[in-house]
Amino acid sequence: MTNILVVGQTPPPYHGQAIMIEEMLKGNYKDIRLLHVRMHFSKETGEVGRFQLGKVFHLFFVVLKIYFYRFRFKTKVLYYPPAGPYNVPFLRDIVILSLTRFLFKKVVFHFHASGASMLYERLPGVLKFFFRKCYFYPDAGLRLSEFNPDDPGFIKAKKEWIVPNGVADHYSAIPVKKESSSALAGGRPCGCCRILYVGILQEVKGILVLLEACRVLESRGVDFKLHVVGAWESEGFNKQVMQKIKTYKLENRIVFEGVLSGEKKFEQYRHADIFCYPTFHKSETFGIVLLEAMQFSLPVVATRWRGVQSVVKDGETGFLVPTEDSTALAEKLELLANDPVLRQKMQKKGRDLYLREYTVEKFHRNMEAVFLSLVPGAQAK
């Protein structure tokens, strides 16, 4: 049995990287045992990537736990998710990896957040040295999509893998009953199209672009309601969005559901007609909310951006539009809102694609293949 030490975030807060590391830890792997040192630098999504004094103390606690697991369980393989193109998480990585990477015989870097290679060019010389020392030449480098930056190639990983995310199927546990959607829509008319967004509420996730698209839909007489699930990045951005809604006279068209998880979140998918994800976040890699939407048979309108392009099949399971293009976004939302037959076709194709490529079981098999590649003579089940 080979022990692998996983150093990484798990919920809360709820975001893609934390959710997927938690899913990975649940897997049943051949000849492998995953040990976990939990990083929980942030209590809320809005704290991610921001400096706080308490994070410094937690940083050294994480380092001490890595030493404990390394020697107590004779762990020789380290799994670590490098930061994206942001200074504070990068400095965190530098401290942790400088003090611990040399302890392990083999290292796996999993790029849930992309863009570390872009950060390198902005660094001063001394930090470039530490970047190379800490990140270069891992035994395996993983990215989520061929459309993401080639961070494993940049850091000269000995072997590169593309491992898409996968999520558990809640479709059967929470049946889709579109006819009852008016119950969650504040008594909306039966013909009103329910659009759903799930994710952190920040500008780079396309929230302002989505509001502008809603203004266009309203001006064209489209009967819709937008339901928004997620945490605000900041109070300042919250106020900015509310002012936009007031200016556009969209108060009766948009509902903010707050932070939801588990069954309450899945109920939002169950009662939606279209899922919209207009992100242009520079560390975006995949968007597991897209998989959740397709599992509930929702056609998706999203941006042609990074790994989103490998999930949404343009014209088949939904539509891809240019980033920050509210007109194109509105056109595709209007098309789907007015064409229930087209929505139905895309619903089936999206659900089929999820079952074929993005189940949690397939994710576990793919990760098992990565882990077993580090164990001499081992083979996957």
The answer to whether the CB of 258 falls within 8 A of the CB of 44 is: no
Strand order in the sheet with 193-198: 254-258, 224-229, 193-198, 274-277, 300-303, 318-321
Q: Taking 80 as the threshold, does the pLDDT of residue 378 lie above it?
A: no
Instruction: Tell me the percentage of the chain whose pLDDT exceeds 90.
Output: 81
The pLDDT assigned to 51 comes to: 55
* C-alpha to C-alpha distance for 153 and 45, rounded to whole angstroms: 30
Residues whose CB falls within 8 Å of the CB of residue 308, separated by 6 or more in sequence, listed in order: 147, 277, 279, 284, 286, 287, 290, 302, 320
Q: Taking 50 as the threshold, does the pLDDT of residue 213 lie above it?
A: yes
Give yes or no for a cis peptide into 12 (omega within 30° of 0): yes
The pLDDT assigned to 177 comes to: 53
Q: Which CATH superfamily is domain 178-357 in?
A: Glycogen Phosphorylase B; (3.40.50.2000)
In this prediction, residue 49 has a pLDDT band, given cuts at 50, 70 and 90, of low
**Rg (the chain; Cα; Å):** 21
Element counts in the chain: helices (H) and strands (E):
14, 12
Q: What are the structural domain ranges in the chain?
A: 2-166+359-372, 178-357
Q: What is the pLDDT of residues 102-144, one digit of tens each?
A: 999 999 999 999 888 889 999 999 999 999 999 999 999 999 9
Fold of 2-166+359-372: Rossmann fold (3.40.50)
Q: Hey, how many other C-beta atoms are within 10 angstroms of the C-beta on 346?
A: 25
Span 177-193, average pLDDT:
51
Q: Which two tokens stand for residue 64?
A: 């001490």
Q: Taking 70 as the threshold, does the pLDDT of residue 55 lie above it?
A: yes
Residues whose CB falls within 8 Å of the CB of residue 251, separated by 6 or more in sequence, listed in order: 245
Q: Taking 60 as the threshold, does the pLDDT of residue 323 lie above it?
A: yes
**Which residues in 273-301 are b (16+ Cβ under 10 Å) and which e?**
bbbbbbbbbbbbbbbbbbbbbbbbbbbbb
**Domain 2-166+359-372 identical in fold to domain 178-357:** yes
**DSSP notation for 344-377:** HHHHHHHHHHHHHH-BHHHHHHHHHHHHHTTSTT
Would you call 154 exposed, middle or buried from its count of C-beta atoms within 10 A (0-12, 13-18, 19+)?
A: middle
